[in-house]
Every structure is written in C-alpha cells, then in structure tokens.
C-alpha cells in the first residue's frame, strides 16, 4: 500500500484529497493510505524512520527553520519523495524549493484530479536516463554537472518555462542537449533559432497554417507548437523574436491553445519552453523591445551560465583538456602544448566566445606543423594580440602609480610566462608549504621536465622576481 503524509493547515484541500483517495476513486481505494498532519516536529525527527513513500508539504509551512530540517530529512531518508504544494508562482520560491532537493512542485490551483495523478505518478517517476555515460563523455565542467542536476529536477516538476542566460559560447545549447538525454525517447524536443525567423514567416513556422491561407500554402501544415505537443521547444536567441510573435507565444503559454494561420479554431497543446539568450532581456524590457509579461513567464526558473573567466581554473583546465583530447581523436597528428601555452590558455579571459573561442583556437592549432610542441610563438597572431592586450590591462590595474609610470611596453612574452609561472606557484603553495616544495613536485604540477623547471626558476631569480621563500628551489 502507498502511504502519503501531508503536512498542511489547508483543511479544504485535505478534505478534498481524503475524499478522493478513500471514496471518489475506486482505482485508488484500499491502495493508498492518506494521512494529514498539522505538526511538523514529529516528521522531521531524525531519530525516527518515516514509513511513507510520499511526503507532501504546503509551501505556507516552509519557514527557514523547517527548510533546514527538510534538507537533513532528505539526506537521512532519500527514498521518501517530497512534493511542495505551492500557493504562488513566485520565481524565487521555485528556485529555493529546487535547491532543497525536493522531487516535485505542484501548484495549489491545480485541479484535484490532475493533482492526484501527479502525486501518484511520482512514485514510479524515474529519469529515463540518469546522467548517462554519453553525457559524461561529451560535456565536462562543474557548471554543466550542476545544471544537469537542475534540469533533471525541473523535468519532473510543474515548471513549464526555463530561461537560460549567459554570454555567447558559454554552453546554452548544451543545456538543451542535456535535457534531451533525460527525456523519454517518445517525448519531442524541437529546436528553433529565433534569429532565423523572419517577421513574415514567424507565425506560420510557430503556429502552422491552413491550405490557401496565403500564396504557396498548398496544404495544411502543423507549426512547431503542434509538433512539440506533449514535449519541449528550445527557443535559441529568444531575444530576436519580434513583438508580434512574442505576444502570440505568450497567449499560447497562458491559454495552452494555438490557432493556425488562416483558421478560426483553436487547438489545445501542452508544451514546455526552454529559452536561451545572450542578451539582457531585462534591459530590452526597459527599452520596450521585449515584452515584460513574456519575460516574467519565461523566467519561471532561470539558469545562468557564467563566462569562462568567472569559473574556477580547475574547471577551465578540465574543459581545455576535454576539447584537446576530442580534437586529437580526429587529428592526423596529436596537438602537444608546452607548459607555458597551457598556463597562458588557463589565464586567458576568453571574452570573445568563451568555450567556442577555446575550441576554435585548438582546431586552428590542429592544422599547424605538429612535429614539435606548440609554443607561444606558434599561436595565431590574433590570439596573441588579444592576450597581450588583456595582460597589459591587468598589469595596469595591479601596478602602483609609480610602477605604471616606470613600466614600458611592449612587454616580452617571456615576462608574461614568468608572471604566469609565479601566479601558479603561489596557488601551489596554498596547499603545500613553500619549504616543502621540490623541483620534482613543481615540474609535475606544471607538466614539465625537472630540467625545464629548474631553468625557469633560475631565469626568474636572475631577473630579481623570485620571492625569497622560493629561492631554495633554484
């Protein structure tokens, strides 16, 4: 028998659910034990084991102290499915609920019959594919791993609109790929690039058309919304939609109905939206080029992908190694980066394209003469110029006024190499005391030979830049 415990002060809702489970539904009678409670202390007592398979909590009871207990409860009893009954559609609240590790969010205004179906189905509701081996092989980095966990939770919640934001090249399309890995094979995920939609054709592409609706409409044609019925639509570059199409998409999301061009009848559709943009929709709303109501509807849940320069160097290194390995698999000769180039790539801001810029640079290196290791002088001139300018700006910000006056440019790339080396040496000394560092440890950390490491240390010492705490190494 399925046991459900419901923490609620909503007597009307409790009465409706109890009647449905015990009287109205012959299918569920004697198969479900529904129990309502007003007090939360007994449930969240970590010394006791809850025998229920489902725990339903009204959002009105989720004060901060209860949220902390809920986190501990989830860790101690992971098999219990937790559902939040939300009394509002606040974006921040949904985000907070998901971070608590709950399994589903159901709106209080949902019809009882639909609510019952969602509650019962969650017991057997398991991802068709967990984070599959294919997903692990193709997408790396802490950012995507965290995003994949969020996507999995969203998929089995009541959230029907997700907005993905971030600079160009941060991996917004990878979020759609991640979603497709979790979806059952029979659930559609259609993708559309809004930048490619002209004002004239947008409505017929999105909503379909009837035969004879316009010149060239030789037969009835379903639109994206009808084709994606029961599934998802990924709107890439959503900011590029014209205002007329924005209004019609909003109407479809609100009413759950579409009307084909040339038709007078509406059709019911059940579609969830994943939208992505590299532009500030909030700014566009203030300028009147994007609808405020559609913006609020899309950001029911928002996922922000940080730029590479704002991610940890460990994650950037993981992404760099991944793409290097992937490109080497299809290359005639293996790309081998010198330690200096590796450090340079980790320190670069990648502000012109993030992961895409990194990937394109490695691809351009794959056509070089790869008989020797790739050194800084073999990097494309455009990239060297960008990095050089970035380094100058960083140096100007960190130097004192006196040093700025004395500093002369251009700086040699050898000086840049020395600075990068010292920066990473400082990071290494955060986990290992400088006196316990050895040439072998440093060489291994920087992926260079011991002889190369010693030569670099002596070179920096001769220039007077080696801190005293590292002099024993040279």
Q: What is the DSSP annotation of 121-162?
A: HTTS---SS-S-HHHHHH--SHHHHHHHHHHHHHHTSS--EE
Of 195-199, 247-251, 336-340, 400-404, highest mean pLDDT: 247-251
Of 432 and 335, the one with more pLDDT: 335
Query: Which of these ranges, 172-181, 225-234, 294-303, 449-458, has the smallest mean pLDDT?
Result: 449-458
Of 132-141, 294-303, 383-392, 433-442, highest mean pLDDT: 294-303
Average pLDDT over residues 160-178: 92
Q: Cβ of 92: how many Cβ atoms within 10 Å?
A: 8
- pLDDT tier for residue 446 given thresholds of 50, 70 and 90: low
pTM exceeds cut of 0.75: no
3-class secondary-structure state, position 72:
helix
Tens of pLDDT, residues 260-282: 988 889 999 999 999 999 999 99
Name the DSSP letter for residue 337.
Answer: B
* Mean pLDDT score across all residues of the chain: 81
pLDDT at 113 over 70: yes
Average pLDDT over residues 234-259: 93
Q: Cβ of 164: how many Cβ atoms within 10 Å?
A: 28
Tens of pLDDT, residues 88-108: 777 667 777 777 778 788 888
- pLDDT tier for residue 381 given thresholds of 50, 70 and 90: confident
Query: Which of these ranges, 94-103, 174-183, 326-335, 453-462, has the smallest mean pLDDT?
Result: 94-103
The per-residue pLDDT for 46 is: 59
């Amino acid at each position: 028998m399925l046991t459900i415990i419901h923490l609620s002060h909503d007597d009307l809702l409790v009465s409706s659910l109890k009647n449905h489970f015990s009287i109205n539904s012959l299918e569920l009678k004697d198969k479900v034990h529904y129990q309502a409670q007003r007090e939360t202390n007994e449930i969240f007592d970590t010394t006791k084991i809850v025998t229920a398979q489902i725990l339903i909590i009204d959002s009105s009871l989720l004060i901060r102290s209860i949220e902390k207990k809920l986190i501990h409860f989830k860790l101690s009893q992971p098999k219990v499915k937790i559902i939040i009954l939300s009394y509002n559609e606040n974006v921040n609240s949904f985000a907070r609920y998901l971070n608590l590790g709950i399994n589903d969010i159901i709106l209080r205004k949902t019809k009882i019959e639909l609510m019952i179906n969602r509650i019962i189905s969650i017991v057997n509701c398991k991802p068709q594919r967990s984070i599959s081996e294919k997903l692990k092989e193709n997408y790396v980095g802490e950012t995507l791993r965290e995003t994949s966990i969020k996507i999995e939770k969203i998929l089995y919640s009541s959230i029907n609109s997700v907005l993905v934001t971030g600079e160009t090249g941060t991996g917004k399309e990878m979020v759609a790929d991640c979603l497709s890995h979790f979806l059952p094979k029979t659930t559609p995920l259609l993708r559309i690039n809004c930048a490619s939609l002209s004002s004239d054709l947008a409505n017929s592409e999105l909503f379909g058309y009837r035969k004879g609706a316009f010149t060239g409409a030789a037969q009835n044609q379903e639109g994206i919304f009808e084709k994606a019925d029961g599934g998802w639509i990924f709107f890439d570059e959503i900011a590029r939609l014209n205002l007329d199409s924005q209004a019609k998409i909003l109407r479809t999301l609100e009413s759950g109905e579409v009307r084909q061009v040339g038709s007078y009848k509406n059709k019911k559709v059940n579609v969830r939206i994943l939208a992505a943009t590299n532009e500030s929709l909030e700014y566009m709303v203030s300028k009147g080029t994007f609808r405020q109501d559609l913006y609020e509807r899309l950001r029911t849940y928002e996922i922000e992908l940080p730029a590479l320069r704002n991610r940890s160097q460990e994650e950037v290194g993981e992404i760099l190694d991944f793409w290097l390995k992937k490109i080497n698999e299809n290359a005639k000769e293996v790309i081998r980066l010198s330690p200096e180039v590796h450090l340079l790539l980790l320190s670069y801001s990648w502000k012109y394209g993030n992961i895409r810029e990194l990937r394109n640079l490695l691809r351009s290196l794959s056509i070089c003469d790869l008989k020797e290791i790739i050194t800084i002088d073999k990097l494309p001139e455009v990239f060297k110029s960008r990095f050089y300018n970035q380094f100058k700006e960083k140096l100007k910000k960190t130097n004192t006024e006196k040093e700025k006056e004395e500093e002369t440019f251009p700086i040699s790339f050898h000086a840049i190499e020395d600075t990068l080396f010292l920066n990473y040496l400082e990071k290494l000394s955060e986990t290992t005391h400088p006196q316990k560092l050895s040439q072998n440890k440093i060489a291994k950390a920087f992926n260079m030979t011991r002889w190369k490491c010693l030569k670099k240390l002596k070179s920096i010492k001769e220039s007077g830049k080696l801190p005293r705490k590292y002099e024993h190494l040279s």
